[in-house]
Amino acid sequence: MIRHAPTAVKKGFLPEDNAPAVLDSKKIKNLALSLPANCTWHVSPLKRTVQTAVALSAYITAGEIRIEESLKEQNFGDWSGEKISDVWEELKQNKNQHNYSFICPETSPPNGENFLEQCKRVSFWLENTQLIKSTSIVITHSGTIRATLSHILKIEPDIAIGIKVSHLKKTIFEIIPEDNDKNRGGRFRLLGINE
């Protein structure tokens, strides 16, 4: 899994829902040279992930490219692109706060989704996508990668939401088929994060 290239950040504002990527060709090329060729790529449909995939494909041959709705970032609804100070006025009324995240996993932005909902969406995708048949590349978002880590390591979303996931870095894991899951340890093994 790869987190997309960074987006332009307007100081004092939350990111927009479908913000474009800011591409650094040197970083893109370095990342591409570390990836396996001719894999199936699973890509979030948001602009920044599609742009990252297109940029990477200039340096490495992709196999099939699948645009996957389930890989979208958490939907921050009405808070997308808003002033942080305005959103904080709403949030500071909540009794529960989080040490490492702007919002707690169970907090739903108006007309958006919470991290728990994102975790369910990503878990369903992980269990129902044929990732085990071959090496795949997934180009997605930090929240989606955190949700994946919550699922594969069986970490509570409250803990997983605090994991740092860097732009243009790889999170690598392997999956064994359910038929081979006969012993202890589960089906998923984390091989690296932020590589």
Q: How crowded is residue 32: how many other Cβ atoms within 10 Å of its Cβ? A: 16
Question: pLDDT tens digits for the chain (195 residues)?
Answer: 999 999 988 888 988 889 999 999 999 999 999 999 999 999 999 999 999 999 999 999 999 999 999 999 999 999 999 998 999 888 888 888 899 888 999 999 999 999 999 999 999 999 888 776 779 999 999 999 999 999 999 999 999 999 999 999 999 999 988 888 899 999 999 999 999
In the chain, the domains with their CATH numbers are 2-192 (3.40.50.1240)
Q: Which helix (H) or strand (E) holds 137?
A: strand 136-140
Strands 188-192 vs 172-175: parallel, antiparallel or unpaired? antiparallel
Q: List, in order, residues 6 or more apart from 111 with CB less than 8 Å away.
A: 77, 78
* Residue type for position 31: L
Q: What is the pTM of this model?
A: 0.95
